[in-house]
Structure 1
Amino acid sequence: MTTAARTGPRPYASAVLNASADEVWAYLRDFGNLAEWTPGGRTAVIEDGGPADRVGCVRRVIGPGDTVFRERLTGLDDAARSYSYAVLECPLPISGAHGTLRVSPAAGGRALVEWSGGFSADPADEEAMTKTLTHALYGTGLAALRRRFG
């Protein structure tokens, strides 16, 4: 008996911002500034103090209730206006989590920002964790960016 490969949950959110893709990317490509624009993030630092655009750097984000999130930058592509990261540590009941943030030009000189990811979890937690990442993390972060860029 064979089983189909399981891809896992794929949280996703997007927003159109009233700024150019280049302007939005110039701000978002800084892997260390997450706490500036994500509600709930109190602080974010690059652990070794190195540049925030160096593939392999690790950001430590302190969130609500002193929760700790650690994420490694796994890819940065200025031409595609995107970066990818792997979650090393988080308080949620997930594992193997990863994400991608991408900025594309949109009609009217605006920018489309897409935030997507993937993770593994116990089947009983998958739906709740997909909603948490999609709405509470990605959605609120993108809403804050929408306000920032007017």
Structure 2
Amino acid sequence: MNRIRKILSALVVSAVLVLAASAGFAGVPEGFVPAYANETEQVKIVEYIPKGETVEAWSEMYTFLVLKQVNAAQYVSFARNLGEQLQVSCEGATLRGQHMDAQKMYLLAFECPDASIAKGQSESMVGMVRPYKQNVLSVQYARRGEKGTPPDSAAMLGKLHELVRK
């Protein structure tokens, strides 16, 4: 059963990377490995963390999320809903979002001074949501830091930019 699960996870990872690559995303930086992958009829998700870390205890994470066969024009409402969920998840959170209509994308920046899920650490995330054919793609970069001082999301944009082809 574990062998089948590993094979299925590898297939999900490959499918998300192929879809992400065809939508204009480069590969994940060296040293990052898949930590979690899942696929249903509606969603594909793959999370990458630094080699040697766990899905529960990580310092950095890249997440690729594909909402399949949805109205691609709904990417803005998906991005806003994601932002609302993030803000509710953390008291004192700072959330910024910007719709870039000309590029058909929505950018998010989230900073949380004390993410309970991060066991007393702060957490920041920058992300991009955009339509692609019949799908909505979300690419996120998150980093954890010292409690009370979340990593500066503006400084993290370079990491997200590493995923996007010029």
TM-score scaled by length of structure 2: 0.40
Greater RCO, CA 8 A, separation 6+: 1
